[in-house]
Structure 1
């Protein structure tokens, strides 16, 4: 079990919305293109489960990607993520728009990103997170660097952090007890 620093737990306790970059965060940053030009991405099922657990707990999740990818649209639909933005080069402007539409403050939003295009948002949010293999300057803007790699459980690690810091871990875990009614997700 990962032990989170107290200052990170304090920031995580205020989060209502988790925004995620895709390539390098939900994936391992590889883009596979087959001989007919179809893009293939690898997603971690544990990250998906973490997202579903956050949704059960009442937190929102959104995707902000500077690329446009059909596999990302399919994965978002599969996970019930309605807030999906692709082809967005100016993530900060989009972030500000989301923050205003949701009536949230910076302290209520977490963002996971791993490259230079993510730095402006990482510099603003209440909880800025990156992965171990992030481009080195990005780590300077993160409150927390995950132990797990992008595409290999990093998002699940942050989902667990949010659930634990907000006292929702046990509540969500009860949904999966043998005697519990099945949770809807």
Structure 2
């Protein structure tokens, strides 16, 4: 991702990172077992990034169109409390998160890869498309990761947020973590 002064200034204000799952935290492949459960593969770098930004006071939430036990297990491991799955209209979960954290869309980053993500991506301050996002999303969203989903794209954004928050003037730093 090309780091510009505009991107840096926006990233400094982010208090919540919302992630789609399929195509963002995973490579987008859906593998189903004979019992109907799906298998997901998550990159360890993304997990370390998620933990690091949570430790820095930036909240992380999931909004996914699909429902998966694997996602619940992984997010539990990472301490991600707000996991919205089976969301056909992602804006409903988005509004709940804004209300819960008492923040505005100007304090939110959203990573997505497909058309269902656009409804939220077009409302937040920092919408980011992963490198393997569909063309329509890439055309409408100004910031793109260098890495594809499932291969460190989330870590790329976490590192950006950590870097910009570490370089915040003292008067802009948050004193308390989001709950």
Fold conserved (TM > 0.5)? yes
Structure 2 residue runs of 5 or longer lacking an equivalent are 169-179
Whole-angstrom distance in 2 between the partners of 1:15 and 1:117: 22
Instruction: Report matched runs for 1:14-93 at 5 Å.
Output: 14-93=13-92
| Structure 1 residue 131 corresponds to structure 2 residue 130 | yes
Q: CA deviation at 1:20?
A: 0.2
Q: CA deviation at 1:3?
A: 5.3
Q: State the secondary structure of the residue aligned to 2:42.
A: coil
Whole-angstrom distance in 1 between the partners of 2:42 and 2:4: 27
What's the TM-score, normalizing by structure 2?
A: 0.89
Query: Matched residue pairs, number?
Result: 168
CA contact (8 A) 1:65 1:87 kept: yes
In the other structure, the counterpart of 1:112 is 111
CA 1:3/1:117 → structure 2, altered by over 3 Å: closer, same or farther? closer
Whole-angstrom distance in 2 between the partners of 1:5 and 1:140: 19
What's the TM-score, normalizing by structure 1?
A: 0.86
Q: Report the more deviating stretch, 23-32 or 95-104.
A: 95-104
CA 1:138/1:102 → structure 2, altered by over 3 Å: closer, same or farther? same
- Give deviations 1:60-111, integer Å, cap 9, x for gaps: 0000001000100000001011110000111112212211221101110000
Whole-angstrom distance in 1 between the partners of 2:134 and 2:89: 18
The 4+ residue runs of structure 1 with deviation greater than 4 A are: none
